[in-house]
Amino acid sequence: MRPACRGATVRFMESHAPEEDDSEEADGLRKIIHVDMDAFFASVEQRDDPSLQGKPVAVGGSRARGVVAAASYEARTFGVRSAMPSVKALRLCPHLIFVPPRFEAYKTVSRQIRAIFADYTPLIEPLSLDEAYLDVTQDLKGIGSATHIAQLIRARIKAETGLTASAGVSYNKFIAKLASDQNKPDGLCVIRPGEGAQFVAGLPVRRFHGVGPRGAEKMAALGIETGADLRARDLPFLRQHFGAQADYLYRAARGIDLRRVRPNRPRKSIGGERTFERDISTGSALREALARIIDLVWHDIERLDAKGRTVTLKLRLSDFTLRTHARSLARAVAGREEFARLAEELLDSVLPLPQPVRLMGLTLSALEKKGEVAPVATVEGGGQLDLF
Ligand code: DCP
Ligand code: MG
């Protein structure tokens, strides 16, 4: 899936940010597959309700503040996209059919596809319910060809779930993820060692994992639109403008990515933050802003099937001072209502504020660990293998 950003002013933070991954670097070239389901939530809805097949469908809420979570390919021809306000989506596509999300159904499919992956490799790194990286440098069935494995996996997903998935096959995570997006839907794209740099050069940087809409805007302002533009900048320049992400970007522009596929990486937190176009100060405006952030963060919590004990409210005031306020429970937050109440209580406890607020953020942390994939020993190897 694309980086989790919702709208121009909301930035979502996941503890899986690429810049955090450098500590464990893979040695040499690997065989990586990135699998990503097509129009995931919408496809599940179309599968389970034949009257929706062939029609423009949006999963999400149609009410005033609703947001499109997923759009069927029929809806996309009208320009409807994930994270788009529902009101706008209806303007673009007046016959759009809204369906409320059924997370249990999505989680069931997610478990099915992960079980399929596990037949080929223990090195599975899920990024969300519908996508994962697989390291098949040494696959469990001794098949050898990553491309062949990707084809087998796509066929089995189709047979066992009735849904289509796209896959990217390459020598690192960065390129594999870009590749899975290349021939969507129901597509396969293989980028061989030696082809990566050229492939990356021609792509818009907004498609790069870790570069959200705001990052892309920032790059555009610096004259960086494509991978080739990014490659033309040196490391000091990137460090100056992109801080901790600079090394990742520098390598990415060259088709290099040293990050390992890491099964069972513990996620530390799920949250989002919003920088306001104009600083806000009244209690009612702040509560209204918080309500919107609660909606978006809770949506992600549900999507990622997470449970956590600590809710943190972050406020950056107009003089840039930062305030964080947290509440921890002895058990996991029970549901949306409790999450919203804790967030609202945190906000109420700091009002009135001495200055207007320029940024508000909300996070759920102290997350429960999930034993989705058993930890496994690192695969040996690297160097020049008989890839693909
Ligand atoms: N999702 C969401 N909110 C977003 C983005 C995605 O709730 N802002 C959910 C709905 C998607 C699912 O996550 O169906 C997977 O996200 P993807 O980005 O992989 O998008 P899709 O699978 O819907 O479409 P694509 O075929 O482009 O992968
Ligand atoms: Mg998808």
Q: Which of 14, 131, 273, 302 is catalytic?
A: 131
Q: Which residue has the higher pLDDT, 374 or 80?
A: 80
What is the 126 CA–ligand 1 centroid distance (Å)?
Answer: 14
Predicted confidence at residue 362, as pLDDT, reads 97
The finding on whether 102 has its CB within 6 A of some atom of ligand 1 is no
Name the average pLDDT for the chain: 88
Predicted confidence at residue 383, as pLDDT, reads 29
- Of 208, 275, 217, 282, the closest CA to residue 245 belongs to 208
> Lowest-confidence range among 16-30, 145-159, 320-334?
16-30
For residue 196, what is the DSSP state? H
The finding on whether 70 has its CB within 6 A of some atom of ligand 1 is yes
The finding on whether 303 has its CB within 6 A of some atom of ligand 1 is yes
Whose tokens are 């029609």? That residue is 55
What is the 345 CA–ligand 1 centroid distance (Å)?
Answer: 32
Q: What is the DSSP string of 235-259?
A: HHHHHHHHGGGHHHHHHHTTT---B
What is the 130 CA–ligand 2 centroid distance (Å)?
Answer: 6
Q: Which residues of 301-325 are buried (b: 16+ CB within 10 A; e: fewer)?
A: bbbbebebbbbbbbbbbeeeeeeee
For ligand 1, atom 8, name the residue with the nearest CA: 83
Predicted confidence at residue 24, as pLDDT, reads 57
Domain boundaries, the chain: 40-101, 269-367
Over the stretch 189-217, which tens digit does the pLDDT of each residue have? 999 999 999 999 999 999 999 998 889 99
d(CA 209, CA 21): 13
Dihedral of the CA atoms 291, 302, 360, 350 (nearest 10)? 70
User: Under CATH, which number does the domain 40-101 receive?
Assistant: 3.40.1170.60
Mutating to test ligand 1, I would choose from 40, 103, 109, 302 the residue with most ligand atoms within 8 A of its C-beta, which is 40
For ligand 1, atom 9, name the residue with the nearest CA: 69
The CA-atom distances, in angstroms, between 343 and each of 46, 93, 300 are 35, 35, 16
Predicted confidence at residue 139, as pLDDT, reads 94
For ligand 1, atom 12, name the residue with the nearest CA: 40
Helix pair 336-350, 283-303: axis angle to 10 deg: 150
According to CATH, the topology of domain 269-367 is Dna Ligase; domain 1 (3.30.1490)
40-101 and 269-367 share one fold? no
Q: Taking ligand 2, which is a single-atom ion, which protein residues have CB atoms under 5 Å away? A: 1, 36-37, 40, 130
Predicted confidence at residue 320, as pLDDT, reads 86
Q: Would you say residue 382 has pLDDT above 70?
A: no
- Cβ atoms of residues 124 and 114 within 8 Å: yes
Strand locations in 172-328 (E): 188-190, 269-280, 308-317, 322-328
Predicted confidence at residue 65, as pLDDT, reads 78
Percentage, residues of the chain above pLDDT 70:
87
d(CA 246, CA 249): 5
For ligand 1, atom 18, name the residue with the nearest CA: 1
Predicted confidence at residue 22, as pLDDT, reads 42
For ligand 1, atom 23, name the residue with the nearest CA: 39
